[in-house]
């Protein structure tokens, strides 16, 4: 590292208290989704900071079309889907780098928290374990500290330090604080990239951890399946058509489809680790999945139900498209329908997001890994997940090579009760972001 980079790292270290305060401010704005209220408030706080740093900012609200594609009606979304885009023009001669972190959070459980989930309390240790980056700097608590407001704060810390150290970047920087990631990101980063509002040569998705560099994730389609029947007295069911029975038939077929077709559909990703737990289940790469997540129907035992509805999540491997997935799903249901003249079903899509993979041999991914190692002193493995992230929009729609890392590890309880993050880890994450930004964009 040169003198300028050392100065930036010094500025990061000395900015930690200010960053904790910012993170507390962000945490106290409740952006759990659904419904995803108050994105405009979070963006307002961030916009002020970015303006202060000299970034040109703009706010973008997804249009009606994207609200429809989000499944807003099914999911119960409310309030404006505000996204912040902040741009810093470089002095010229470098590529454009896009860094994204999301402003929404997972839902907050009503019970089981030992701290205020919107409080931002700071403690010396975490009773859930220790971050590998813990240097005694304490832990911060609340919904979003590890996913994804901690990343949002770490990013700002990195960019403030770059400014404070007097660094002038050659390439352009585009930062997005995008919404709705937890429910598919369609009205968030999906909207910004598909509409061409954000374009870049390289990407960083800050929505991961400091235990690995995420290169691959699954896609998913959320389907609603409905069966219709005919109500009748439950003691004379022979006169009715039972919608729950019909759904049960469809579910037997879906179960067979999942275990015998989808589980065999694999997308090999050499060099990318999907973790010990999955390996024990025989899963080493993206693999087709299906989950029947909800089922609802009927009013009482003495009435033949005329309606049954369920939500099915279909995990898609990279390369599987929504159109293909939907057509195949319909074929499975039609196969059952062909054997039963009384079976009527309807299929709706709530929303979808596709899967992606950046190969472990990608030069940008390898370079980022080396830079992260230089910044934080640890060589992180390349990892993948069966979940899905907004990096999909950067890789699939935006055609950028991209890496995913962030704040949090197994001790963080992401999405669970008592979410917490090591403040030292947040600082290290900021260093990794700063070093990649400076080396990739170039410094004048």
Residue 404 CA, distance from chain mean position:
10
Give the sign of the dihedral formed by CA 77, CA 392, CA 394, CA 30.
positive
The whole-angstrom separation of Cα 278 and Cα 287 is 11
Residues contacting Zn ion: total by CB under 5 A: 3
37, two tokens: 């209220």
Q: Beta partners for 122? A: 140
Contact 352, 184 (CB under 8 A): yes
For 64-85, b where at least 16 C-beta lie within 10 A, e where not — what string? eebbebbbbeebebeebbbbbb
Question: Per-residue DSSP letters for 84-131?
Answer: EEEEE--SSSS-EEEEEEE--BPPPPSS--SS-TTT--EESS-TT---
Question: CB 147 → Zn ion: shortest distance, Å?
Answer: 4
Looking at the Cβ atoms of 40 and 147, the one nearer to Zn ion is 147
Instruction: Name which of residues 114 to 153 contact Zn ion (CB under 5 A).
Output: 147-148
Question: CB 182 → Zn ion: shortest distance, Å?
Answer: 7
Question: CB 181 → Zn ion: shortest distance, Å?
Answer: 5
Is residue 104 at the binding interface for Zn ion, with CB under 5 A as the rule?
no
* Region near Zn ion per CB under 5 A, out of 37-45, 201-209, 354-362, 425-433: 201-209
Looking at the Cβ atoms of 247 and 380, the one nearer to Zn ion is 380
Q: CA neighbours within 13 Å on the CB side: how many for 95?
A: 15
Question: CB 88 → Zn ion: shortest distance, Å?
Answer: 24
Looking at the Cβ atoms of 106 and 443, the one nearer to Zn ion is 106
Question: CB 35 → Zn ion: shortest distance, Å?
Answer: 17
Looking at the Cβ atoms of 148 and 424, the one nearer to Zn ion is 148
Looking at the Cβ atoms of 90 and 188, the one nearer to Zn ion is 188
Looking at the Cβ atoms of 26 and 161, the one nearer to Zn ion is 26
Phi then psi dihedrals of residue 396, to 5 deg: -80, -50
Of the residues 5, 104, 160, 207, which one makes contact with Zn ion according to CB under 5 A:
207
Question: CB 12 → Zn ion: shortest distance, Å?
Answer: 22
Is residue 310 at the binding interface for Zn ion, with CB under 5 A as the rule?
no
Three-class secondary structure of residue 58 per DSSP: strand
Looking at the Cβ atoms of 9 and 39, the one nearer to Zn ion is 39
Which helix (H) or strand (E) element contains residue 245? helix 243-260
Question: CB 236 → Zn ion: shortest distance, Å?
Answer: 52
Question: CB 284 → Zn ion: shortest distance, Å?
Answer: 24
112, two tokens: 């089981």
Looking at the Cβ atoms of 147 and 419, the one nearer to Zn ion is 147
Instruction: Name which of residues 11 to 40 contact Zn ion (CB under 5 A).
Output: none
Question: In terms of Cα–Cα distance, which of 263, 265, 58 is closest to 178?
Answer: 58
Q: Interface residues with Zn ion (CB under 5 A)?
A: 147-148, 207
């Amino acid at each position: 590292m040169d003198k300028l980079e050392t100065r930036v790292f010094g500025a990061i270290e000395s900015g930690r208290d200010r960053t904790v305060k910012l993170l507390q401010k962000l945490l106290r704005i409740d952006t759990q989704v659904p419904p995803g209220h108050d994105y405009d408030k979070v963006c307002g706080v961030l916009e002020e900071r970015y303006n202060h740093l000299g970034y040109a900012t703009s706010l973008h609200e997804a249009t009606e079309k994207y609200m429809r594609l989000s499944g807003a009606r099914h999911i119960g979304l409310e309030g404006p889907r505000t996204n912040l885009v902040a741009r810093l023009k470089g002095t010229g001669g470098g590529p454009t780098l896009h860094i994204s972190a999301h402003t929404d959070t997972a839902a907050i459980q009503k019970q089981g928290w030992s701290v205020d989930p919107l409080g931002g309390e700071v403690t010396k240790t975490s009773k859930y374990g220790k971050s590998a980056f813990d240097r005694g700097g304490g832990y911060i608590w609340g919904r979003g500290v590890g996913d994804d407001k901690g990343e949002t704060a770490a990013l700002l810390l990195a960019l403030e330090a770059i400014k404070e150290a007097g660094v002038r970047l050659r390439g352009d920087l585009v930062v997005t604080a995008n919404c709705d990631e937890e429910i598919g990101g369609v009205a968030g980063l999906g909207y910004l990239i598909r509409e061409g509002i954000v374009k870049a040569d390289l990407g960083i998705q800050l929505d991961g951890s400091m235990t690995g560099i995420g290169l691959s994730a699954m896609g998913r389609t959320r389907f609603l399946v409905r069966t219709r029947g005919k109500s009748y007295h439950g003691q004379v069911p022979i006169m009715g058509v039972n919608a729950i029975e019909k759904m049960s038939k469809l579910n037997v077929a879906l179960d067979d489809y999942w275990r015998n077709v989808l589980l065999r559909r694999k997308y090999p990703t050499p060099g990318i680790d999907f973790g010990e737990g999955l390996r024990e289940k025989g899963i080493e790469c993206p693999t087709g999945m299906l989950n029947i997540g909800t089922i609802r129907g009927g009013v009482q035992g003495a009435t033949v139900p005329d309606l049954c509805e369920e939500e099915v999540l279909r995990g898609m491997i990279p390369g599987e498209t929504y159109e293909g997935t939907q057509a195949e799903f319909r074929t499975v249901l039609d196969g059952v329908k062909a054997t039963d003249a009384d079976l009527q079903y309807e299929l709706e899509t709530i929303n979808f997001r596709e899967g992606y993979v950046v190969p472990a041999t990608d030069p940008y991914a390898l370079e980022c890994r080396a830079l992260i190692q230089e910044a934080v002193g640890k060589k992180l493995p390349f990892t993948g997940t069966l979940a899905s992230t907004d990096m999909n929009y950067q890789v699939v729609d935006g055609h950028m090579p991209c890496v995913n890392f962030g704040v949090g590890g197994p001790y963080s309880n992401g999405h669970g009760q008592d979410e917490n993050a090591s403040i030292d880890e947040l600082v290290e994450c900021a260093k990794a972001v700063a070093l990649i930004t400076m080396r990739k964009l170039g410094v004048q």
